[in-house]
Amino acid sequence: MVFTGTLIYSHFLPGILAVIGIFLICNGIMDRKNNYTIIGVALFFLAGLLPFLILPFMLGT
């Protein structure tokens, strides 16, 4: 069961967050909405950092 949980947080969720982040960055830049751009950049960085923040707690290291 731990393997399934780690797979979600290491592969699936970061990919989904990165795609949503890129979508928000593009919409924010094209529509000149700074809020969308900032949220998109934050989501993109969160997608990159998420495995390093959550997996040590799940694996107990």
Least Cα distance to 23 among 39, 8, 12 occurs for: 39
Assigned token pair, 9:
């947080």
Reported as a single tens digit per residue, the pLDDT across 13-61 is 999 999 999 999 999 999 999 999 999 999 999 999 988 988 888 777 6
1 pLDDT above the threshold of 80: no
Name the pTM for this structure: 0.81
Residues, the chain, total?
Answer: 61
